[in-house]
Structure 1
Amino acid sequence: MTFSTTTTDDGARRTGTSLPAPGRGSRGRPAVPVLAGTESRLLLRHPAFLAAVVLYAAFWIYDLVPGGAAHAYPVLQDESWSVHLPLLLLAAGVLLAANQGVLRSHRNMTEPMYDVLVVGRSRRICAHLLSLLPAALLALLLTAGRMGYLAGRSGAVGEVRPWDVLAGPACVLLAGVVGVLLSTLVTSAAVAPMAVVGLGMLTFAGAVNTSASWRWFGLLAFENENAAPLPAALVHRPAAAHLAWLAALVVLLGATAVLRAGGRGTVLKATTALALAAALVAGFTQTRGLSAADTDQVSAYTDHPAAHQRCTKENGLTLCAFPEFAPWTTQWAKVARGVLAYAPGEVAGAPYTIRQRIFPPGGASSNGQPPPLTEWAADDSRAGTPKAVTVGTDWSDGAAGGDRRSDAVVEFATGFAYRAVTGDVPGRPRLTMVCGARATLVLWLAGKATPGTQEALRSTRERTFGGGISLPLLNSGAGLSFEPRAADFAFDLIDRPSRANATVIKKNWAELTAPDTTVDRAARLLGVKAPPAVPASGQVAGC
């Protein structure tokens, strides 16, 4: 408001007031940005948003308290989408805060007072939409910080996927727009919490149906968390199309909110129409699935990995990995050397190959499917690396919370120990039963290889029922299974100092590795008490 002086026809002077120019504040600044700045500060201080930020921070801190062991070896192409899970808390907080911000005048019964302002309802809705940008920017900064932390870990491999990373902050922005739109449709404060529940159910449904194409119509599209990571070349997520879908929804729903508030104009209507068209195109594009060429590429990497890998040699070990996983080969070599440290010279000095593999195709759950063992054996022969020991695309320092990463460590350590003990690799499409002294020796070598393998092996045993231990190969139907009595004896030996058994094991290696050597005979050779005998009813088939 400004003061003005006017002169009438009779020469008298009168002083009065005049309203600001339409759409401008009292200091000449555009009113919509000024109101947006005020509303953004109120939104960032809203209890729902602050609670969401606190929960997000608690989620991250909880993950870091044990030293971040579960994320010591992150695969960045997987982390690019999984990092968004806690951002759903921020999205819920922004939706609630934005909705209550618009309904503030209705709640306080001051809506009629806004009729005298120069900024109409549609322009106020525009201000509320603009006020969401700082919250989305905060989500982007939190995501960037998290990804920066993971990428900075010494064991990080893979590549950051920008389109996947940007999807999380876009979801936060979209949630806020939904909150604003709901306020123009219904003035009840109960609608926003119901919307949060509805979006949460949609996201959960997509998370448990990771093979369904319709999951891309949700806020975020997750992958099967129980599946091992894939090399970056095989990650065919339509992340760019999904980000375009989210952006189109932001514009479409935002424009609809302005229209509901009384907005008019050709530009607004054209924007709404274009956003609708973009949403339809992006929505269709993101659900097309894999092409035939993509499927063939996944099959080639699965059945014939040697052609897509780089190999290095280190002290008799040939280490073959997909290019982005090459930094992990030092960890594989460390475990292999730990196993061979207790073997006699002729065994420790023999050549060994470690080859990284993926199974099943596409990273889905295998459900006990047999792996392509015949194709793998032929691939190894062509590459001049027969009987290569398999290692997957997961890794950790040890137990890592008892998840698939710790199981991957146990799987590789026992697989390499089995190769050293038997001179072969499992070749059956189902679990290979390991019995007697061989089973004890394989588990003991795996447990003594490194402190991490021992920790992971104990974690596996704690999560195993029935006494024995079964270790599927890359979550397939093949792998190794150890009889209960031999496993019990192995853990008894693991608890003993290594030097107490190492010399005796090297001296009696030939007999301990013979397929017909029993647990009782192994106990006599090692000079220790054998575990109690298992009754006939409790004996394992195949031993």
Structure 2
Amino acid sequence: MKRPLPALILKESTLALRSPLLWALALVTVAGRIVTTWKEMPDWSGETVNTATSALVIGAGAMLAGNLAILRDARSDAVELTEALPVRPQTRTLAVLVAYPLAGVLVAAPAMGIQLGSLLIGSRPTGHVDVRELVTGLLLVALMGALGVAAGCWIPGLIAAPIGIVLFFWTLVQFPSTWLLPVVPELKLAIDPVRPPGWHLLYVAALFLLAGSVALLRHGRRPVPVITAVSGAAAVVVAGALTLNSPAAKAAAQVGDLRQSTRSATAGAEHCRELNTTRYCAFPAYAAWIPLWQGAVDPVVAAVPEASRDRLPGIVQRAATGVLDPAVTGGNILTTTSWGRNGAERASRRTLAAQMAAAAGGLPWGTQRGGGPQGCDARGQARTIVALWLIGQVEQPVAATTKRTSIRTDDGGQSALEVPRSDLGSVDYGEAELGYAKQLLAQPAARERIWEHWAVLTAPTTTVDQALPLLGLGRSNASAEPKGTPCE
């Protein structure tokens, strides 16, 4: 055989693509990612990084499969059999070194494509796709395959690859923002993650070259492997230095400052639009979601008398961390960097609509806590019915619940509280108020009655019993006494 290497690569590649490890882990990765992301509207800036990071699981399969393949020569009586072959050991190693990383990439590429494709279903994505991040994910799989081969060459035992996988994942957990790792998980910021994908891609490629060279050095210090190893090590140093010193990496290193409590949670929400009397302000990368917010808010605003609409708050996006600026929160409803899809958008719509409904009805909304940390109770108040009716213009209102939470006491201890959780936020209400609101939603003339008596119905002192004649409703349920601090 004049050209044994291509034939060996083809054979090893066929064996690699038949590996149940690769396909099983690819299936687990795809299924897990689809399930965990199915209900969340995607942000491409983060999801491309998350998809590349998920390739670690497939890379683990390539690492184990490559390690098992290279260990064939170390099995009992294998040396006597392989010595009779017309190819040198380094040729067989090179074939495995090419085949298993390549097979890992061929399995990972469609798996990543399916993950990204699933994000388009029922979706209005925001952010930007960076192909360099995805290529880095594929190179990561190849790198792990090469590391499995290198470990098998130097440590002839089955324990090396599993330990290497554990160490690989451990470093990601312990040093999540270190750019000298092969993959850096997404930095959970409200804006596009600041990353150096170009230089980091070269860095991972250099690591792959170095890992392959180390595997081939096991067969002796021949000129080509030595030169390749030295070149690979130099490339790792240079690419690592370029990555660490790139402007993007330096900016990303300041992520701790961006997460400090002194930073405003709404800083950067500078893309603003006024639509139908309501002002919406989003982080620039999330501007595509403004129509989604408008779809939740507009029906509520339209159900408020025109004379009262100018007093309604605007919508401002906030990050998950940071302090709340009173200058912003005082006249605005805050929305997050999450929005549902594939059925979960109904909860997102209800949450945003409920805050506008609470504001329109004069109840505490958003960051306001009418009853302190415990929230407040709006049982028996006519405006509760009005607010629930306003929510019903978007989604059907549901019963209030409670959530057990802890607050810090004056003496530094912790105290457990039952805090209300409802469509209206930390405002509690009863079945009577909810029932009357549903009756109003079934009456075509309800809007005219509510608008005619708006000032009276939204006054904090107006009771449910006083409101029923104005709303054209009969007394079918008695309102319960407030269980907590009444809403003011």
TM bucket (normalised to shorter chain) is 0.7 to 0.9
1:344 is aligned to 2:287: no
| Runs of 5+ unmatched residues, structure 2 | 405-417
Residue among 156, 160, 166 paired with 2:129:
160
Q: How does 1:195-344 map to 2 (within 5 A)?
A: 195-203=164-172, 205-206=173-174, 213-214=177-178, 216-223=179-186, 230-232=190-192, 235-265=193-223, 266-278=226-238, 280-281=240-241, 284-285=244-245, 288=250, 290=252, 305=268, 308-313=270-275, 315-344=276-305
Q: Name the SS for the 2:392 alignment partner.
A: helix
1:364-404 Cα shifts (integer Å, max 9, x gaps):
4x5xxx40122566xxxxxxxxx34433332225862xxxx
Report the Cα distance in structure 2 between the residues aligned to 1:189 and 1:291, rounded to whole angstroms: 38
Check the 8 A contact 1:488/1:531 in 2, yes or no.
Answer: no
Q: Compared with structure 1, are the counterparts of its residues 155 and 137 closer, same or farther at alpha carbon in structure 2 (3 Å cutoff)?
A: same
Count residues in correspondence.
Answer: 461
Residue among 516, 519, 527 paired with 2:461:
516
Q: How does 1:109-508 map to 2 (within 5 A)?
A: 109-131=77-99, 132-150=101-119, 154-203=123-172, 205-206=173-174, 213-214=177-178, 216-223=179-186, 230-232=190-192, 235-265=193-223, 266-278=226-238, 280-281=240-241, 284-285=244-245, 288=250, 290=252, 305=268, 308-313=270-275, 315-347=276-308, 350=310, 354-359=314-319, 364=321, 370-374=323-327, 387-397=331-341, 400=344, 408-422=348-362, 433=376, 435-436=378-379, 437=381, 440-441=384-385, 444-445=388-389, 447-451=391-395, 454=396, 458=398, 464-465=403-404, 466=418, 468-469=420-421, 480-483=425-428, 486=429, 488-493=431-436, 495-496=438-439, 498-500=441-443, 502=447, 504-508=449-453
- 1:527 maps to what in 2? 474
- 2:47 maps to what in 1? 79
Q: CA deviation at 1:508?
A: 3.4
1:440-472 Cα shifts (integer Å, max 9, x gaps):
247514631323xx4xx75x956845472278x
Residue type of the alignment partner of 1:468: P
Q: Compared with structure 1, are the counterparts of its residues 322 and 63 closer, same or farther at alpha carbon in structure 2 (3 Å cutoff)?
A: closer
- 1:476 maps to what in 2? none
- 1:34 maps to what in 2? 7
**Identical aligned residues as a percent:** 23
Residue type of the alignment partner of 1:505: I
Q: Which moved more, 1:155-164 or 1:264-273?
A: 264-273
Q: Which is higher, the Rg of structure 1 or of structure 2?
A: 1
Check the 8 A contact 2:401/2:421 in 1, yes or no.
Answer: no
Report the Cα distance in structure 1 between the residues aligned to 2:419 and 2:329, rounded to whole angstroms: 31
1:123-143 Cα shifts (integer Å, max 9, x gaps):
322221211123213313332
Q: CA deviation at 1:502?
A: 4.7
Q: Name the SS for the 1:515 alignment partner.
A: coil
Check the 8 A contact 2:109/2:138 in 1, yes or no.
Answer: yes
Q: Compared with structure 1, are the counterparts of its residues 418 and 495 closer, same or farther at alpha carbon in structure 2 (3 Å cutoff)?
A: closer
Q: CA deviation at 1:160?
A: 0.8
Check the 8 A contact 1:305/1:357 in 2, yes or no.
Answer: no
Report the Cα distance in structure 2 between the residues aligned to 1:107 and 1:442, rounded to whole angstroms: 78
Alignment RMSD, CA only?
4.0
Q: Name the SS for the 2:83 alignment partner.
A: helix
Q: Name the SS for the 2:334 alignment partner.
A: strand
**What TM-score comes out, normalization by structure 1 length?**
0.71
Runs of 4+ more than 6 Å apart: 291-301, 429-432
Question: Which has the higher relative contact order, 1 or 2, with Cα contacts under 8 A spaced 6 or more apart?
Answer: 2
Residue among 45, 48, 54 paired with 2:18:
45
Q: Compared with structure 1, are the counterparts of its residues 372 and 183 closer, same or farther at alpha carbon in structure 2 (3 Å cutoff)?
A: same
